[in-house]
Structure 1
Amino acid sequence: MVEVSNINIGSCLCGAIQFEVERFEPLVGHCHCKMCQKFHGAAFSTFGEVKREYLRWLSGDELLSHYRASNDSVRSFCQRCGASLLFESRFNREQGTVEIALSAFDTLFGVNPDAHIYCESKAAWLTLEDDLPKYLGYRDGKC
């Protein structure tokens, strides 16, 4: 587990939803799946996994809206500004975790992406030139 000594604070675009995270789990990936591309309106998303006990809502959690996909994953966003905030898969529910978009953090300490995942559906116009491992799926089948 990645231990951080500082509290990580985040919010949605309009600031109505605010939260803090005390500690992240170790795997932090850039996800290139089509669902993340469409949810974030970007070439990929970057999520950090957090045990629910380390996530605290400071304000506005009642403003979260949820989209349940056909694969039973749930994506949560601010109903006021539309900011993409959370992802939760069946695995997350079983493990008591949730994944939070790193771009939603205003302060972020000691958290760095460690891989590109689902590169099989990477945007064709994007070239990945960093040294992070690249996987076709979820950390399997290297590109």
Structure 2
Amino acid sequence: MSNSTYSGQCFCGTVKFRVSGTTEGMGYCHCESCRSWSASPVNGFTLWNPESLEITEGEDQVGEYHKTENSHRKFCKKCGGHLMTYHPGMGLVDVFSAMLPELEFKPGLHVHYGERTLSVPDGLPKFADLPKELGGSGAQLAE
């Protein structure tokens, strides 16, 4: 895992933030919600303790959308650029890997692989939903 400080910003640069410390994990999410939100077949995530995150500029421009209570998605009100997703049940915040350009992205697993639209044969564990410690079944799928 990483142990440093990384900065990110929305698409237009109005909202700026930084995360510091150690990531709780990195991987790929294949759930329908992440695919739809990111307009991509898979979404790279980096999980952080919420205390590791600081909005440094434009906090008044951060909007929030809850499709479900599992994910509180944050975006810039000015440009619509995606920022991060709070996962209250996990007690973690997902700062999308693309939002942290200086962070070396080292994924360790795939989650919600049972919902995939793109197969990724990379040798990483592929969970049907989530690992047990994150509230899932812990069931793994073959590549």
Which of the five TM-score ranges fits, normalised by the shorter chain?
A: 0.7 to 0.9
The one-letter code sitting in structure 1 at the alignment partner of 2:113 is C
> Scaled by the length of structure 2, what TM-score is found?
0.84
Unaligned runs of 5+ in 1: none
The one-letter code sitting in structure 1 at the alignment partner of 2:140 is K
Say yes or no: does 1:117 pair with 2:115. no
The one-letter code sitting in structure 1 at the alignment partner of 2:115 is S
Does structure 1 conserve the Cα–Cα contact (< 8 Å) formed by 2:24 and 2:49? no
Between 11-20 and 77-86, the greater mean CA deviation after superposition: 77-86
The one-letter code sitting in structure 1 at the alignment partner of 2:139 is G
SS at match of 1:13: coil
The Cα offsets for residues 61-107 of structure 1, whole Å up to 9 and x where unpaired, read as: 21111111234521111112222221122324xx3x31111111132
SS at match of 1:35: helix
Match of residue 131 from structure 1: 123
Instruction: Give the number of equivalent residue pairs.
Output: 135
**Partner Cα separation in structure 2 for residue 33 and residue 9 of structure 1:** 26
Does structure 2 conserve the Cα–Cα contact (< 8 Å) formed by 1:115 and 1:132? yes
Shift of 1:26: 2.8
Q: Which of residues 99, 103, 106 is equivalent to 2:101?
A: 106
Q: Which structure has the higher relative contact order (CA within 8 Å, separation 6+)?
A: 1
Shift of 1:117: 0.6
Runs of 4+ residues over 3 Å off in structure 1:
none
Does structure 2 conserve the Cα–Cα contact (< 8 Å) formed by 1:24 and 1:48? no
Aligned CA distance change for structure 1 residues 29 and 38 (closer, same or farther; 3 Å): same
> Scaled by the length of structure 1, what TM-score is found?
0.84
Unaligned runs of 5+ in 2: 132-137
Does structure 2 conserve the Cα–Cα contact (< 8 Å) formed by 1:11 and 1:106? no
